[in-house]
Structure 1
Amino acid sequence: MNPPTTAAPLSFSLIVKTFAPGWPAAVMGTGAFALSTLHFSHQLPMLAGPAWALHYFNLALFAAISIPWLLRWLMAWPAVANTFRHPVAANFYPSYAIALLVLAGQLRAFGGHESLALIAWWIGVALLFSLTLAVLLSIFQGEHVNLDHITPGIFMPPVGLVVIPVAGGPLLAVQPEALRDLALTINGIGLGSGIFMYTALLALAFHRFYVHKRLPPMMAPTFWINLAPLGVTVVSVLNLVAATPFAGDKSAYLMAVFLLWGFGAFWLVLAMLFTWSVRKIDPLPFSLTWWAFTFPLGAFTLGSQRLSEVSGLATPLAFGWLAWALLAGIWTLTLVKTIGGVASGKLFQPHP
């Protein structure tokens, strides 16, 4: 009989060493919640106050998460290297760069701080390409990945790539003249590579879902990640088309994103049914993977809002309200449980 394990004494060095690479997903989810709430405040003015509160909270959250996340690279490099070689955990390293890109969108939407938004966007782009390429090379050069490791977490790198034009498209108008061509090209590279990488990985994920054992209950929230590239791509395509002079007739793009959004609406229902079915078999233990509920829901809400805005359709907006209501409840519950996990130190205990 194994002796009971005791929790390691909590210290700042332990927090840094065990700080999971996916912590910035909390910033991603909160930022999407803030942006979608701000958009809905145009219809329901009472939401303006909560939207601004979420904006300021997310800025503080990003600052708090940045300290241990960045220090880990200096103080605990062996732990960073180990997780970079992990075929599941490595996919979450780009989340820090995605958080910066989301903050760029916030800085532009809340108060029009376009100069700060440009800084956040350029830093986020540089980090995103660096981290994504490093993660892919680590996976491609190894022989350590099998079907057990194929979870929807593999969508994180392409999610980051398709996020680039969310703020990058509207910011093209205020880019320095000397950088505008480069910025437009970067938006195109990000969106194009993200879409095709997501398409390839979607086939791989479906292969796992069809022929392999089901996801562990702890990983069930990641099933929702598929909503993220679908919702974000709607916003990114429409933003980039609006900012690109050679895009020409916009109707073809609108039809394309309408079909993408349709798959997202289908996946939203499937994700709810899937989570309910998993919950009937096993409890869903709380972990940081719960933040995987939030950004995808926020991304789909933003995509629904943008599609309704340009098409005049009311049904996408209704789906957006549904996703936003789910997001509000799940974000609140996840935040409360995260605060409890931080206070107790459970989220900083080394894995056996």
Structure 2
Amino acid sequence: MEDKFKINRLEFFPVMMFSIVMGLSGLTITYQKAALWLSFPSIIGELMMYGTTAVFLLILFIYLKKAFKYRLAVANEFSHPVRINFFAAISISMLMLSIIYKEEYSFISAIFWYPGAILHFYLTMYTISFWINKNQQLDHSNPAWFIPIVGNLLVPIGGMGFVDIDVLIYFFSVGIFFWIILFSVILNRIIFHNQMAVKFMPTLFILIAPPAVGFIAYFKMFEVVDTFALVLFNLGLFFTLLVLFMYKNFIKIKFFISWWAFVFPIAAMAISAMLMYHIKASLFLGILSYVMIASTTIIILIVIYQTIVHIAKEEICIEE
């Protein structure tokens, strides 16, 4: 009976678990850049690098085990109008790990970047084809749709030196274009139609990610802060302030694994703020950098605690 229970829990192990790696990777890069630009101890980022890699390998192992034992369950997730977007979290995790290793271990970075970029290219094509070929209900639209799009903006950050810049500009162009299109769709849904399910409220934080990551990618490719770069940075800042202004919408939400959606966008904005501070060295940007690092750290500690508590209560990996 106990073995059967364990097998059933494996069957309901969600692909959304890869968003944990996205969150941990974002925090790792945050502390790596804080060591580089703000004189934080480098040991923090180094330890987190190994810890994040271990978590990715563990989640990947469990999900592959599920794929072998419960192929139908994985196929159902891959055809689900909401969960399909979270498959891109697998390739995004690989792309972020490539960024984590890029400065010190270029070979390991390449091991993560090449398959991550190829997989994300496929998942972007498949997901958009899925949206086109199967009529989507407006109620299914939510900011999680940005996940396959944000990954395209991550490709140039880790890909400099691995491929020609024209390839990186392709991914950047796709990411920016579909960010604008999807934002219009989702804003229309949020304002004029039914409110999102409570479990997806944390995904509003994902609104921060496209402009924040886009700013980093743009600077990585062109090493210039022009009008377009400033627009991206300030849009990221706007959405950060917006979710802060709406804090009452989040403080009483029951825990769902989607809480990990809090972490990655906040980390992306923290890195953007530090990068801008590194370039311009203004007092405001310096304060913003420290505030964002503190916010990212506090949020991820809360989410880690809640995740552990709910795993202990066996409230994760259950049938919905």
TM-score, normalised to structure 2's length?
A: 0.93
Amino acid at match of 2:186: A
Match for residue 308 of structure 1?
Answer: 277
Alignment of 1:22-171 (within 5 A): 22-42=16-36, 45=39, 47-109=41-103, 112-143=104-135, 145-169=136-160
Amino acid at match of 2:244: M
Aligned pair in 2 of structure 1 residues 101, 337: CA closer, same or farther (>3 Å)? same
Partner Cα distance (2:47, 2:139) in 1: 40
Q: CA RMSD in A?
A: 2.0
Secondary structure in 1 matching 2:16: coil
**Residues 220, 275 of structure 1: 8 Å contact kept:** no
**Residues 265, 319 of structure 1: 8 Å contact kept:** no
Partner Cα distance (2:196, 2:5) in 1: 31
| CA shift for structure 1 position 44 | 5.3
1:349 equivalent in alignment to 2:318: yes
Partner Cα distance (1:271, 1:151) in 2: 15
**Residues 37, 274 of structure 2: 8 Å contact kept:** no
**Residues 227, 297 of structure 1: 8 Å contact kept:** yes
Secondary structure in 2 matching 1:346: coil
> Once structures 1 and 2 are overlaid, which stretch shifts more, 301-310 or 283-292?
301-310
| CA shift for structure 1 position 60 | 0.8
Aligned pair in 2 of structure 1 residues 71, 133: CA closer, same or farther (>3 Å)? farther
Match for residue 3 of structure 1?
Answer: none
| CA shift for structure 1 position 9 | 5.8
Aligned pair in 2 of structure 1 residues 129, 73: CA closer, same or farther (>3 Å)? farther
| Corresponding residue to 2:243 among 262, 271, 279 | 271
**Residues 290, 334 of structure 1: 8 Å contact kept:** yes
Partner Cα distance (1:32, 1:317) in 2: 19
Based on CA coordinates, which of the two structures has the bigger radius of gyration?
Answer: 1
Amino acid at match of 1:293: F
Cα deviation, 1:36-83, whole Å, max 9, x if unaligned, reads 112223465454332222212101101111112223333222112212
**Residues 153, 210 of structure 2: 8 Å contact kept:** yes
Partner Cα distance (2:134, 2:66) in 1: 24
Alignment of 1:210-225 (within 5 A): 210-225=191-206
Partner Cα distance (1:277, 1:126) in 2: 37
**Residues 8, 349 of structure 1: 8 Å contact kept:** no
**Residues 88, 153 of structure 1: 8 Å contact kept:** yes
| Corresponding residue to 1:205 among 183, 186, 198 | 186
TM-score, normalised to structure 1's length?
A: 0.85
Moved over 6 A (4+): none
**Residues 270, 292 of structure 2: 8 Å contact kept:** yes
Amino acid at match of 1:341: H
Partner Cα distance (1:316, 1:303) in 2: 10
Cα deviation, 1:307-351, whole Å, max 9, x if unaligned, reads 222233342343232222111111011111112222332211111
Partner Cα distance (2:290, 2:53) in 1: 25
Aligned pair in 2 of structure 1 residues 286, 8: CA closer, same or farther (>3 Å)? farther
Alignment of 1:235-314 (within 5 A): 235-242=216-223, 250=224, 253-277=225-249, 279=251, 283-314=252-283
**Residues 23, 288 of structure 1: 8 Å contact kept:** yes
- Structure 2: runs of 5 or more not aligned: none
User: Across the two proteins, how many residue pairs are aligned to each other?
Assistant: 319
Partner Cα distance (2:273, 2:61) in 1: 34
**Residues 258, 307 of structure 1: 8 Å contact kept:** no
Partner Cα distance (2:92, 2:282) in 1: 30
Percent identity reads: 22
Amino acid at match of 2:98: A
| CA shift for structure 1 position 297 | 0.5
